[in-house]
Amino acid sequence: MTEYTTRVLNTVRTKNAHEPEFLQAVQEVVSTIEPVLTAHKKYEENCILERITEPERTIMFRVPWTDDEGHIHINRGYRVEFNSAIGPYKGGLRFHPSVNLGILKFLGFEQVFKNSLTTLAMGGGKGGSDFDPKGKSDAEVMRFCQSFMTELQRHIGADTDVPAGDIGVGGREIGYLFGQYKRLRNEFTGVLTGKALNWGGSLIRPEATGYGCVYFAQNMLATRGDDVSGKVCTVSGSGNVAQYLVEKLNQLGAKVVTMSDSNGTVYDPDGINAEKLAWVMELKNVRRGRIKEYVAQFPGSQYLEDQRPWDIPCDCAFPCATQNEINGKDAETLIKNGCKLVAEGANMPTDLDGINIYLQSKILYGPAKAANAGGVAVSGLEMAQNSQRLNWTREEVDAKLHGIMKNIHENAYHHAHEYSSDCTADFTNYVAGANIAGFVKVADAMIDQGLV
């Protein structure tokens, strides 16, 4: 570590001592962008690291709501507006009991670099609440969303800050949030993405994160003359990202043998084919059931209570549930069992030990910022369609998503080979490449715009 990065990291640690996920995200970025900081002193002279690790604005607010029995509940709402150097703040809302400021700061910080990589004009932000939509009626979720938006609407707007979904925020929640925004502001604008198709949404947005992650994996495999066809794949999660990722893997001839939720994993050695996936989608999206119900429906499969999928041998692994779901030991097990590729659908699903093991083993590793950027990229395309009052076809949006994922791959690949000394003809450090490519664009914009 250089004197500059050591000093900044120490300050960030002191100022954010109780936010381990945020510190983890900052450490990962800072440790990989050192070569560019050393080569270009302007970043240190302009205190870019100090500035880029501090959110531009953090909003916290009370969210009161009543349940169906008339009891009052109070949750905490947040929006972290992290960086607007290259466009309006953009990033999802997460509703989950684990949500706190540190988690949203890590997600907002990651989002700054990810959005930069997409090549679209979007800054980075993230928000949400410790509200748990699980087990709540539709009416309760609606009342919560309306109360949440009653405060949030003061801070967002189509040219200011454009939230989207994340864990616990899907089409239903985006609908209630949009309805309340429209009612309070008396304007129909593209203030949220992930909207339904008949009122401003984009085709392929629900699919985009999962599909994009598979496209990124395909680009990585192509550097070794390979592709996903015939590969045995393990997937975690069974929500939005996991569902469409499994759909695309099936379409491309791979065999997916696991899906999971926060209670356990289902292992189906015959593969979760299109018909079984349709059943999972109905289970999770309509009946809001648990993944363990799969085994009663599909004999030959097993339910692994309280387990993640990483002990199951696979060629490719796609973590699509949540942060830090793969630790160093899991990464070692994956590699020992023959895994050759990890592409991250979830945000920061691998901890720092796990990342180091991937890099030492020289497998193909697509970090979240690059591999799951397809979701926010199509959100950017939804904003573009809303501004023009136009709807592009499914084929048009999918072709643009393909192009964006290819560009992200090339951008990360070239920056890795330019700056990261561990890259060889057969190995690309995509962590370094994605962080450096994302950083340079935002940092240069910050310098151009002066000290703000």
Asked whether position 147 contacts ligand NDP by CB under 6 A, the answer is no
Q: Say which residues have a Cβ less than 8 Å from residue 318's Cβ, sequence separation at least 6.
A: 213, 214, 217, 233, 234, 235, 236, 242, 245, 249, 342, 343, 344, 345
Q: At closest approach, how far in Å is the CB of 88 from ligand NDP?
A: 17
Integer Cα distance of 447 and 370 in angstroms: 24
* x/- map, 369-388, ligand NDP, by CB under 6 A: ---x--x-------------
Q: Restricting to residues 416-445, name those near ligand NDP by CB under 6 A.
A: none
Asked whether position 200 contacts ligand NDP by CB under 6 A, the answer is no
* x/- map, 328-367, ligand NDP, by CB under 6 A: -----------------xxx--------------------
Integer Cα distance of 192 and 176 in angstroms: 11
Asked whether position 239 contacts ligand NDP by CB under 6 A, the answer is yes
- Span interacting with ligand NDP, options 3-11, 217-225, 237-245, 382-390, rule CB under 6 A: 237-245
CB 364 within 8 A of CB 221: yes
Instruction: Please say whether the dihedral angle defined by the alpha carbons of residues 362, 363, 369 and 370, taken in this order, is positive or negative.
Output: positive
Q: At closest approach, how far in Å is the CB of 1 from ligand NDP?
A: 28
Q: Determine which residue in the list 146, 193, 218, 238 makes contact with ligand NDP, applying CB under 6 A.
A: 238
Q: Say which residues have a Cβ less than 8 Å from residue 289's Cβ, sequence separation at least 6.
A: 283
- Span interacting with ligand NDP, options 42-50, 317-325, 354-362, 441-449, rule CB under 6 A: 317-325
Q: Determine which residue in the list 165, 190, 200, 438 makes contact with ligand NDP, applying CB under 6 A.
A: 165
Asked whether position 241 contacts ligand NDP by CB under 6 A, the answer is yes
Q: At closest approach, how far in Å is the CB of 168 from ligand NDP?
A: 5
Q: Which of 90, 105, 126, 276 is catalytic?
A: 126
Strand partners of residue 284: none
Instruction: Confirm whether 126 is a catalytic residue.
Output: yes
- Which residue, 200 or 375, has its beta carbon nearer to ligand NDP? 375
Integer Cα distance of 449 and 433 in angstroms: 25
Asked whether position 262 contacts ligand NDP by CB under 6 A, the answer is yes
Asked whether position 209 contacts ligand NDP by CB under 6 A, the answer is yes
- Which residue, 248 or 423, has its beta carbon nearer to ligand NDP? 248
Integer Cα distance of 283 and 184 in angstroms: 34
Query: What φ, ψ does residue 161 adopt, rounded to 5°?
Result: -160, 125
Q: Determine which residue in the list 128, 163, 200, 237 makes contact with ligand NDP, applying CB under 6 A.
A: 237
- DSSP 8-class letter at 169: B
Provide the token pair at 313.
């041998």
Q: At closest approach, how far in Å is the CB of 30 from ligand NDP?
A: 22
Asked whether position 202 contacts ligand NDP by CB under 6 A, the answer is no
How many residues at the interface with ligand NDP, by CB under 6 A? 23
Provide the token pair at 282.
């109905």
Comparing CA positions, the residue from 317, 300, 299 lying closest to residue 308 is 317
Q: At closest approach, how far in Å is the CB of 170 from ligand NDP?
A: 6
- Which residue, 316 or 320, has its beta carbon nearer to ligand NDP? 320
Integer Cα distance of 251 and 170 in angstroms: 24
Pinpoint the alpha helices (H) of 46-88: 48-52
| Burial group, residue 447, by CB count within 10 angstroms (0-12, 13-18, 19+) | middle
The residue ranges that bind ligand NDP (CB under 6 A) are 165-168, 170, 209, 237-242, 261-263, 320-322, 345-347, 372, 375
Q: Which residues are catalytic?
A: 126
